[in-house]
Amino acid sequence: MTNYAHITPQFRDVMEKSDLDRLAFLDEPRWVDYQAANNLMDILNGLLRKPERPRMPNLMLVGESNTGKTTVVTRFKELSGQPYVSDDAVSVRPVICAEVHKPDERELYNAILREFWAPHNPVAPLEKLRHQAIHLLRDARTRMLILDEVHTINNGSAAKRMDVMNELKMLSNILHIPLVLVGTRTALQLLVLDSQYSSRFEVVSLPNWSVNAEFQRFLKSFESVLPLKFASKLYSSELTPLIHAISNGNTGNIEYLLRECAREAIRNGSEVIDRRLLEKNQWMRPTSADGVRERVL
């Protein structure tokens, strides 16, 4: 009986389970620490602690699709933004995260109201939706509003983009809370619509990985949550550049690649991710400018 030293201690009991249970374990969401994500959470926590003032600092987080932006923001909300009941019996929601999917002010407020599970008429007058959303945010003592997929605002006309950005500026002014906008790098186009937008937002990017020691540490951490019986040493000088080449250094692609390889390693009984298995899964390398992966059957 091995002690499975390559597996993080809290998950070693999984190794005594059946293959089916280990395959199911692979699909469970799991946080893996890495420095860029921790730096981002430090920034977000710093914003959350900012004292109220007339002009609050705001943040725009950008990066390629699938670089882990939403995952990090979700982790931040889980650790720092959990709802609670205050000493004076108020149901507090410190952090509200919503997604916007089109360049429309009503969509902005509908997205916020959906997060509160609040009954509302999606086609109500803008003034009514705005009033209801602001009322709920104030009542919940919300201290940060995070809006994901903000690059979709670029799909509208210049006038519509300005209208939505003006609503966001007004929300920050009225509520005196920081706004965090999350999207692909095309979201940066929103900040150049008007100098008053760019002056209100600090821009932080979550880049793809480079082949370096930090990437090797990430691979070692990721390997420690894969329920394989043998150590793969993904962080080795042989496998690290291959994993990077297949994934283009994209965090989401890396996770998908390694989970699929681990799945196959369990099913075929090899219980290890080696060069042969990684090369077999070269199909996971994005083959076009839009990053699409195509499996040929």
- Residues of the chain with pLDDT below 50 are 1, 287-290, 296-297
Asked if 196 contacts 169 with a C-beta cutoff of 8 angstroms, the reply is yes
Assign domain 35-205 to a CATH class: alpha beta
* pLDDT for position 286: 55
CA-atom Rg of the chain in angstroms: 22
Indicate the residue type of 229. K
Residue 289 has what pLDDT? 44
Give the span between the Cα atoms of 68 and 96, in whole angstroms. Answer: 19
Q: For 97, list phi and psi in degrees, rounded to 5.
A: -115, 125
> Look-up: residue for tokens 């000493």?
87
Cβ-Cβ contacts under 8 Å for 259 (sequence gap 6 or more): 26, 27, 226
Cα 233 versus chain centre, distance: 27
Identify whether the C-beta of residue 155 lies closer than 8 Å to the C-beta of residue 164: no
- Return the domain boundaries, the chain: 9-27+209-284, 35-205
